[in-house]
Structure 1
């Protein structure tokens, strides 16, 4: 089995950033993965005491399909985030100053328009990741499972609809579900798979148009009897993960 793609998503719900390699630490996400989010004005997120909240509290594809049109790029060395979208002037702003975060929040709120609730805030909390799971971790997609879904519905699907960190080949479709509760060697890191990934309405969205054009959870249930695609894992031993690395289940 071979790693074909590696991605991080610096801002929850916004675009992916392709990586050639990454170093992961035990119990953590990819560096800068889901580091930032746009909290809706009525979200009870406290940056001084960060805790897991369901994704509906933030701008996200599940609730806000149009955010697929926002192209974001994070520069960790400069600490800046670039935002672009059709019909909106691009913005480059620092993420580590109050003024910069205010500018980023205002830009994204203006983009959301009527979907913005109250006064949204662009937020970060050191040590916290805005993941969809209570446990920090890494998400993986078996490309053979995605191809099985594509064959069943008769159309291609952009793999990035599924917002995984690692996409790999070389395993039969759906065999990754047998990894739940087991450890895998992923490049130089050891991961422990703790659950299958249940797919939500975020995967309905065409990332190029921002329109819901395929009810992926329903299609999975119709053709395969479940709404799962991919698995989630925690990092138990840190190390380097890179394109072309092998993935192997451990005894």
Structure 2
């Protein structure tokens, strides 16, 4: 039987994941604690800017897509303190601070100094990007790539199949971390989750009944090595050539059955729940 093998949330939009033993899917279809913070460019703010909730494009701040060396930083957030550890320095703490004004400034200054000392410096020096600002309340899941939010899922089998397909063009490692999903499962044939998206399949994952909404079309973030940040393989091209996809896709976006988005009217009864590592995945 298919089962959940990994769960991840992304406290800071565009940065590395925090591995979890369980995730809470909210009635609005977003993961509690996921994308609750973001590091915004100076010129991305405006008086009417809500800082997310409906939609927050990657172009507004730091993200792996444009700053691949962010992969070298491991992020943890306990609800009060945000910590960045440097993988290239034996996981030494780069910065650890709270979300008060002084802590936010300390975090942004540390990130700025590190990026300016590395190969992504030129991107950060572009006009209007500095000073960086840490935005978000640390509670509300609001910095989404898409207005509707969604929970993301992929299978280990699809990642393994992509790794086999890429072996003819590169020896770069291909693992789950490149694809930044909330839920990783095993026990299904490769690419099954893309079929679920086409059919709008209903699934039960842990305590949560969900429906498949659409495939996840991938961006440049998947080309970066999840440890070093080096762009070491063009997996987008592998997906469209070796695998033969029209668009480079891996994984599926999900919503709880009958979920309502922020501000929508309707009953949220039974649409959320908890998913745990080891939970079964059943097709309804």
TM normalised by structure 2 equals: 0.81
Change in 2 beyond 3 A, CA 1:47/1:11: farther
Matched, 1:214 2:233: yes
Q: How far apart, CA to CA, are the structure 1 residues paired with 2:73 and 2:16?
A: 7
- Cα deviation for residue 128 of structure 1 reads 4.3
Contact 1:13–1:59 (Cα < 8 Å) also in 2:
yes
Q: How far apart, CA to CA, are the structure 2 residues paired with 1:208 and 1:26?
A: 34
Q: How far apart, CA to CA, are the structure 2 residues paired with 1:172 and 1:208?
A: 27
Contact 2:165–2:243 (Cα < 8 Å) also in 1:
no
Provide the residue aligned with 2:183 in structure 1. 166
Provide the residue aligned with 1:15 in structure 2. 16
* Paired residue total: 247
Change in 2 beyond 3 A, CA 1:225/1:105: same
Listed one character per residue, the Cα deviations across residues 188-229 of structure 1 (whole Å, up to 9, x for unaligned) are 011222110001100000121111001111111111222000
1:124 to 108, 131, 136: 136
Q: How far apart, CA to CA, are the structure 1 residues paired with 2:35 and 2:48?
A: 15
Structure 1 SS opposite 2:178: helix
1:147 to 160, 163, 166: 160
Contact 1:47–1:123 (Cα < 8 Å) also in 2:
no
Provide the residue aligned with 1:74 in structure 2. 77
C-alpha RMSD of matched pairs (Å): 1.9
- Cα deviation for residue 28 of structure 1 reads 3.5
Q: How far apart, CA to CA, are the structure 1 residues paired with 2:183 and 2:76?
A: 19
Change in 2 beyond 3 A, CA 1:243/1:23: same
Provide the residue aligned with 2:44 in structure 1. 43
Change in 2 beyond 3 A, CA 1:63/1:134: same
| Larger-gyration structure (1/2) | 2
Q: How far apart, CA to CA, are the structure 1 residues paired with 2:57 and 2:215?
A: 18
Contact 1:179–1:249 (Cα < 8 Å) also in 2:
no
TM normalised by structure 1 equals: 0.91
2:251 to 204, 216, 230: 230
Listed one character per residue, the Cα deviations across residues 169-192 of structure 1 (whole Å, up to 9, x for unaligned) are 111111211222232111101122
Q: How far apart, CA to CA, are the structure 2 residues paired with 1:15 and 1:3?
A: 20
Contact 1:43–1:57 (Cα < 8 Å) also in 2:
yes
Contact 1:199–1:216 (Cα < 8 Å) also in 2:
no
